[in-house]
Chains A and B, each alone.
Chain A
Amino acid sequence: MTPQSNIMVVAPIIAGREAELRQLLSSMNREPGLADPDNPLVPFGKIATLHYARFVVLEDKTREDLLIYGAPLPNAINSLAFLCDCDGTADALRRDLVTHAEAGLRQIFSFCASFQSGADLLRWMEEHEQRAATTYNNWLGRTAKQVREEEALRKALDLRLQSIIGRSPRQVWEELRGFVGREKAAGKLTLTPAAPTPLLWSIKNLLDCIGVPLLLLLLSPLLLLYLPIFLIQLRIHELHDPVIAPRPTLGHAKSLAVIEDRVITNQFSAYGNVKPGLFRRWTLASLLFAVEYTTRHIYNRGFLARVNTIHFARWVFLDNRTRLFFASNYDGGLETYMGDFINKVAWGLNIVFSNGVGYPTTNWLVMGGAKDELTFKDFLRRHQLPTDVWYDAAPGITAYDMERNSRIRDGIEQESMTDDELADWIKLF
């Protein structure tokens, strides 16, 4: 089993050069917002372990919201962020990036203030990386190659099924198994077996899995003592925090819409300030820590609570935990995405994002908030950034498609199936 990794390089852009940088970035796209896999700057398609990648200029358009709090205004320097979600280690990805895209990356990063022209690209990227507080991976261990192979398998089987009529599920299964065997022998289909799980990763994972609950258990008396104080502090904040969610301007809405809904999956990048004060900063950090435990050990088999349309997502603290950046890759349109979240996981949105400046009022951290549908949607759009370059290694294939394809493959590779299993398997087509 090959685990996934991710990187996020963030570096401030040289003042006055942002427009030129954006133009350079847009030259990588074949359509607004959709990267050309073979673009000459960063040929994403050549890196076989890449699932998603994006370049996005981090611009804090809502920094003036902090005036309401009487807090100091955060800096207005825009940064360039480069994110990747990949199979295997981040080290291997960085080396791949240098191998396939050194010149292009140098050209792009030359717009960043701290990039000297002779710098060691690998070292510079590493130094400027920002670790995510929380990451989400739809299916732990599913590699980009696996997605491609299983989609090719599904397509081949769908085509073959057109000429198989009136057979029992078992007969169909045996016929398709034979077909796949022949196609593999002829080199027309490949189903790479899973690689062995790296030992070090397994050990770290196990320690985290057991260690975190143990830690919480040890701290639980303290946490329980703090709880009533926390709740009082929370209510005081909730009753006084202002809501700032005016309707996004036409220009902003257009800049977001032009890059959406071209293929089935969409990108989402959002940026905002954490509500000032230690209470909010620590609450958010603790909650993201808790969410990270669940995404790492529980929600890694197709769904995040009730939502199964997200491929990869992450929450990243920036600027000493005063700002939060959120990135995701999800299936369907934003209206569906937002609606699903409001109806199915409003509580999840609330616990994290209610710590952001201007979020619709919550009650007891989990109630209210996103349920104020229109205010929430305006809030989200307001903090959304247009992603300059977005690469999707498997366009047109949803997270559901990927799981379905894996189940089809499992059925083909299984040596025997009971009648019940066959009845379920045959419905996958």
Chain B
Amino acid sequence: MAFTNADYRDTQGLVRFGYARLTEACFLLLRIEDTAAAGHWLESAPVATAEEQKPPPERALQIALTCEGLRKLGLPDDLLQGFAAEFLSGMSGDENRSRRLGDVGVNAPEYWQWGGPNDVPDLVALLYAQPGLLEEWKSSVEAGLTRSGFKLLRCLPTTDMGGVEPFGFVDGVSQPMLDWERRRDVSGDQLTYGNVSMLGEFVLGYPNEYGKYTTRPIIPGHETGGLPAAEDVEGHSDFGRNGTYLVIRQIEQDVRGFWQFLDKQVSRDASKRQTLAEKMVGRQMSGDSLVPVIDQSIAGVGPDAQDIQRNQFTFDGDAEGIRCPFGAHVRRANPRNADYPAGTHDLLERLIRLLGFGRKSIRDDMVASTRFHRLLRRGREYGTKLSPEQRLQSQPPDEEPSGLQFICLNANISRQFEFVQSAWIMSGKFDGLNEEGDPLLGNREMVAGCPVDKFSLPVAGGVRQKIQEVPPFTTIRGGAYFFLPGVRALRYLARIAKFD
């Protein structure tokens, strides 16, 4: 059922590239104060596309808008209603959402530095540049924005930490592979873990892992206003095609708190400290998995040898959680399972499972199939990079806090980002665990009168080791849901704004 191929030229580059070579980056949070002028700027803003360029670019600009930004530019309400309810509401716009995301207590949006109620930006301009080029380019972009009536609310700076996140772990090691060629067939159950995702999981206008099209704004008329045609709705144009949702969350990390807590747990033994940290994260500091690599290949992993070394595994090889604890961050964020529990292959086994039988243990079949809940991550670190020695010392005054500008792309915020965040990361009951949330991101807030502040490490042939009263290591400082439009949609939007 392949329709036209994906259009790299119409898709913004961040969907395809992480821009790892463009190690300098900053994100400008903007407010629109002059709609027509903003339209002029957007009409010719040089957004980088997903086309491969030779030589690779020195700079890349990406533009994404919140619901309020789209409204201010003049997108009519009936089109706006084509977006997902969570995008329209915003990350901080609903108490129930904040409860589910864990944005409660000190992480509540009312305390955020940006993105809280009444403080949601209209637009974000993401600037990526090769070392040495950002400062000058940023000034010229800012000047152009000011001339076009944009107000700079905040610049989110980033720091190149050399591929390592603030706690010291190699990051960005695992990403889903997008089926750009549109060869993937999801008409049947997927019985093994694969790392390839339907294009529609990350780009609107294409079929997702259910083989269906995620709702997005559609306009009657063929190629109205230069927009691409809607594949699934005859005679209509697709404002969302080649676009996607972009989630930003500013996660401040208490690097010293993390390492000093671990240090106390292991009575200052350096190698035990590293091991414990790796158990909490779920990967070695080098980026390698805690679970040994398997022989069979996994679709979407490799052929790069380092990718195979880091990602050719599932947790079937660690069913007891001895190597990688059940509650480790990486195991929560991507449980790497298939549509049926491990070991289900032939038709009879599937029928037995379908009816709910064949459980091998009380913990069988607890976690939902991962392929419906993948995230494409594009985060960047910020703040001071600390050396291993510095991490164990007390914080000097005026030190810039460090953290992660967590960024992810997905076509269905509710089923992807929000699901992973609430059902897997924040849940104190994930995978049969109890009273423990994600060791890195958990907010340690009480739920139903019970603390959620433990971390358990299964021990072979013995009682699980349980670390008690784990303090929170991260705080949310800001966040928002953006729409990263296709290029034609962006220009269409610009034209609406110019004539509004």
Q: State the A residues within 8 Å of B (CB).
A: 158, 161-162, 164, 167-169, 172, 247, 250, 253-254, 257-258, 260-264, 299, 303-308, 331-333, 335-336, 339-340, 342-344, 347, 371-374, 395-396, 398, 400-401, 403-404, 407, 423-424, 426-429
Q: Answer whether residue B423 sits at the interface, using C-beta atoms and an 8 A cutoff.
A: yes
A-B contact pairs, 19 of them (CB 8 A): A161-B463, A167-B462, A167-B463, A253-B85, A257-B94, A261-B422, A262-B99, A264-B447, A304-B356, A306-B356, A332-B429, A335-B418, A335-B423, A373-B212, A374-B212, A396-B449, A401-B429, A403-B362, A407-B362
| A374 and B215 contact, CB distance less than 8 A | yes
Known: A262-B99, A304-B356, A336-B423. 6 other contacts (CB 8 A): A161-B466, A257-B94, A264-B428, A264-B448, A372-B212, A423-B461
- Interface band, chain B: 35 or more
In chain B, what residue has the closest Cβ to A337?
Answer: B423
* Interface 0/1 of B409-446, CB less than 8 Å to A: 00000110011001100011100101000000000000
| B447 and A396 contact, CB distance less than 8 A | yes
Q: How many A-B residue pairs have CB under 8 A?
A: 117
| 5 smallest beta-carbon distances between A and B, as pairs | A396-B448, A257-B96, A305-B356, A263-B448, A395-B448
Q: In the bound complex, what is the Cα–Cα distance between A303 and B353 (angstroms)? A: 12
Q: Which chain B residues lie closer than 8 Å to A331 at the CB level?
A: 429
| B458 and A427 contact, CB distance less than 8 A | yes
In chain B, what residue has the closest Cβ to A299?
Answer: B356
Q: Which chain B residues lie closer than 8 Å to A395 at the CB level?
A: 448-449
Take A263-B447, A332-B427, A396-B448 as given contacts and tell me if A343 and B463 are in contact as well, using a CB distance cutoff of 8 Å: no
Q: Answer whether residue B368 sits at the interface, using C-beta atoms and an 8 A cutoff.
A: yes
Point out which of B95, B447, B449, B463 has the most chain A C-beta atoms below 10 A from its C-beta: B463
Q: In the bound complex, what is the Cα–Cα distance between A406 and B212 (angstroms)? A: 42
| CB-contact partner of B354 in A258, A308, A347, A372, under 8 A | A347
Q: Which chain A residues lie closer than 8 Å to B461 at the CB level?
A: 169, 423
Q: State the B residues within 8 Å of A (CB).
A: 81, 85, 94-97, 99-100, 210, 212, 214-215, 320, 339, 353-356, 359, 361-362, 365-366, 368-369, 372, 414-415, 418-419, 422-423, 427-429, 432, 434, 447-450, 458, 461-464, 466, 468
| B462 and A306 contact, CB distance less than 8 A | no
| CB-contact partner of A427 in B94, B97, B210, B320, under 8 A | B320
Smallest CB–CB gap between B97 and chain A, Å? 8
Smallest CB–CB gap between B368 and chain A, Å? 6
| A339 and B448 contact, CB distance less than 8 A | no
Smallest CB–CB gap between B19 and chain A, Å? 31
Q: Which chain B residues lie closer than 8 Å to A262 at the CB level?
A: 99
Q: In the bound complex, what is the Cα–Cα distance between A264 and B418 (angstroms)? A: 16
Take A261-B96, A304-B356 as given contacts and tell me if A343 and B320 are in contact as well, using a CB distance cutoff of 8 Å: no
| B432 and A400 contact, CB distance less than 8 A | yes
| A335 and B414 contact, CB distance less than 8 A | yes
| CB-contact partner of A305 in B354, B418, B422, B447, under 8 A | B354
Q: In the bound complex, what is the Cα–Cα distance between A389 and B428 (angstroms)? A: 25
Smallest CB–CB gap between A400 and chain B, Å? 6
In chain A, what residue has the closest Cβ to B423?
Answer: A336
| CB-contact partner of B362 in A398, A404, A429, under 8 A | A404
Take A347-B354, A395-B449 as given contacts and tell me if A172 and B422 are in contact as well, using a CB distance cutoff of 8 Å: no
Take A263-B447, A333-B100 as given contacts and tell me if A172 and B463 are in contact as well, using a CB distance cutoff of 8 Å: yes
| A164 and B463 contact, CB distance less than 8 A | yes
| A261 and B99 contact, CB distance less than 8 A | yes
